[in-house]
Every structure is written in C-alpha cells, then in structure tokens.
Amino acid sequence: MSGETATARSSRCRRCGFEAPGGADDWLRIEVPKLGRMTQCPECESTDIITQR
C-alpha cells in the first residue's frame, strides 16, 4: 500500500501504443524548424505523442 512513488508523467505514442516516462531516454528527440523540439517514438517514428498525467 505504501511506497507509491511520484511517477513522472508518462508519454504514449498514439500510433503504436509505445509508452515510456516523459523525458525518458527511450524517446527520440528531433528538432523541427518552426515547431522546435519534438518527441519521436522509437518504435514507429511517429511524433504523435500524448503526455498523460
């Protein structure tokens, strides 16, 4: 019951369902002109990532 860690917000790929903590090394980071830095899924290379709480 105890030991509930303060988990970081997790991010999920809407395309393939890949899930990892937001900011984790699992995610790829790409820089897009105009849009800035984006998170990219390492599994399907989609940038359609949602961050959950």
Which residues make up the interface to Zn ion (CB under 5 A)?
13, 15-16, 18, 41, 43-44, 46
Q: Please say which residue, 3 or 11, places its beta carbon nearer to Zn ion.
A: 11
- Shortest separation between residue 7's beta carbon and Zn ion, angstroms: 21
- Shortest separation between residue 40's beta carbon and Zn ion, angstroms: 9
How many residues are given for the chain? 53
- Shortest separation between residue 43's beta carbon and Zn ion, angstroms: 4
Contact partners, residue 33, CB within 8 Å, separation at least 6: none
Whether the CA torsion 28, 20, 8, 47 is positive or negative: it is positive
